[in-house]
């Protein structure tokens, strides 16, 4: 049996510029971080007592005889991509819900790739892991997803990621003080309104040419944030100024990014002392993330106590094999 553990992520800046439709023609840049909340995937040979070839458990259960009959698109296409012929049992569990803006679908694909490649004795490097996950999601499944989530899930850490037409560059942030200050100021809670990221991203893609001016502004903001993360003497204040601008332009990308309920929650947090904030992920629901004065945390926790508040820390390992035992 193999068990992989793969982190979720939060994005500070640059979402939207990590789509091939954008960075194949103009540069993209993202600043994101993996967090200490994970998805777990176990893989083992299915015992030879059953009338089916695949036993799969995620939020549904599948018992099927042929890979093409697997409903879960990532499981189906990953098995086909790796050309694995074994009878398999695959089980998924996670610390946080899917469709919540934290890159869960890409963490699943990266974690599944990591588990299956180790299962077959063909270990992938982190770069090969995220490249394969991008290919599976964008080209084989044909989902409307960007390219940042797979990198965060595979690599781990707080990174600046540059997207070019023919290459991707990942630069880990090394300013330990600023990393710690950002980590202490994070306030994250679940709004309770899950959404389908692919549908929201599709609505942005439909008006991509019209969004060019906003994406260029988002890129400029991310460039400024890259400078600040390395040199700022007050990173929470400097990031907050940029994050407020970023949230303004992110909402311009699609009317589905925010809604009246999300806006009310956002305004309540800001009026209660949060410095800045945004929805994490495509939008429409999921997790709201704010930068706050840590001394304000008890007050904000009381205000938002009816929501699920999730304490998080950054993590640096990315997708890992945490259990490996031969059958």
Taking only the tens place, the pLDDT of each residue in 203-240 is 556 566 678 999 999 999 999 999 999 999 999 999 99
Instruction: Give residue 114's pLDDT.
Output: 98
- Chain center to CA of 5: 14
Instruction: Give residue 101's pLDDT.
Output: 83
pLDDT band at 256 (very low <50, low <70, confident <90, very high): confident
Instruction: Give residue 99's pLDDT.
Output: 77
Instruction: Give residue 204's pLDDT.
Output: 56
Instruction: Give residue 19's pLDDT.
Output: 93
- Chain center to CA of 291: 19
Taking only the tens place, the pLDDT of each residue in 13-35 is 999 999 999 999 899 999 999 99
pLDDT band at 194 (very low <50, low <70, confident <90, very high): low
Distance CA 124, CA 229 (A): 30
Query: What mean pLDDT is predicted for residues 33-44?
Result: 98
Share of the chain above pLDDT 90, in %: 82
- Write down the domain spans for the chain: 2-174+315-324, 176-309
Distance CA 43, CA 263 (A): 42
Share of the chain above pLDDT 70, in %: 93
pTM of the model: 0.93
Instruction: Give residue 198's pLDDT.
Output: 52
Instruction: Give residue 266's pLDDT.
Output: 94
Taking all residues of the chain, what is their mean pLDDT, rounded to a whole number? 92
Asked if the model's pLDDT at residue 277 lies above 70, the reply is yes
The full DSSP string for 26-76 is S-EEEEEEEEEEEEEEEEEEPPTTSS-SEEEESSSEEEESSGGG---HHHH
Q: Could you give the C-alpha distances from 190 to 97, 175, 194, 260, 280, in angstroms and in order?
A: 10, 29, 9, 16, 10
Asked if the domains 2-174+315-324 and 176-309 are classified in one and the same CATH topology, the answer is no
Query: What mean pLDDT is predicted for residues 304-313?
Result: 95
| CATH value of 2-174+315-324 in 3.40.50.150, 3.10.450.50, 3.30.10.20, 3.30.230.10 | 3.30.230.10
pLDDT band at 174 (very low <50, low <70, confident <90, very high): very high
Please state which of the ranges 2-11, 19-28, 94-103, 282-291 shows the lowest mean pLDDT: 282-291
Does CATH number 3.30.70.890 belong to domain 176-309? yes
Residue 231: Cβ-neighbour burial (10 angstroms; 0-12, 13-18, 19+): exposed
Taking only the tens place, the pLDDT of each residue in 89-147 is 999 999 998 878 899 999 999 999 999 999 999 889 999 999 999 999 999 999 989 99
Query: What mean pLDDT is predicted for residues 253-280?
Result: 90
């Amino acid at each position: 049996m193999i068990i992989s553990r793969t982190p979720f992520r939060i994005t500070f800046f640059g979402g939207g510029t990590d789509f091939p439709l954008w960075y194949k023609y103009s540069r993209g840049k993202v600043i994101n971080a993996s967090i200490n909340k994970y998805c777990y995937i176990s893989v083992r040979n299915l015992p030879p007592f059953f009338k089916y070839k695949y036993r799969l458990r995620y939020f549904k259960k599948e018992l099927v005889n042929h890979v093409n009959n697997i409903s879960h698109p990532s499981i189906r296409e990953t098995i086909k991509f790796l050309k694995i012929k074994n009878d398999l049992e695959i089980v998924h569990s996670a610390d946080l819900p899917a469709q919540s803006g934290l890159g869960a679908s890409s963490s699943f694909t990266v974690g599944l790739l990591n588990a299956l490649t180790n299962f077959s004795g063909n270990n992938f490097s982190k770069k090969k892991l995220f490249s394969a996950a991008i290919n599976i999601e964008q080209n084989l499944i044909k989902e409307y997803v960007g390219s940042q989530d797979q990198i965060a899930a595979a690599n781990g850490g707080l990174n600046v990621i540059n997207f070019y037409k023919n290459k991707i560059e990942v630069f880990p942030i090394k300013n330990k003080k600023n990393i710690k200050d950002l980590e202490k100021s994070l306030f994250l809670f679940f709004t309770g309104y899950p959404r389908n990221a692919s549908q929201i991203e599709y609505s942005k893609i439909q008006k991509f040419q019209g969004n060019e001016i906003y994406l260029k502004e988002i890129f400029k903001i991310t460039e400024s944030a890259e400078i600040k993360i390395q040199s700022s003497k007050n990173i929470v204040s400097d990031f907050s100024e940029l994050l407020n601008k970023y949230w303004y332009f992110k909402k311009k990308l699609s009317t589905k990014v925010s809604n009246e309920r999300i806006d009310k929650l956002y305004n309540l947090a800001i009026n209660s002392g949060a410095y800045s904030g945004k929805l994490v992920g495509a939008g429409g629901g999921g997790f709201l993330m704010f930068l706050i004065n840590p001394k304000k945390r008890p007050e904000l926790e009381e205000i938002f106590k009816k929501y699920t508040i999730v304490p998080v820390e950054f993590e640096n390992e990315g997708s890992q094999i945490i259990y490996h035992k031969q059958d």
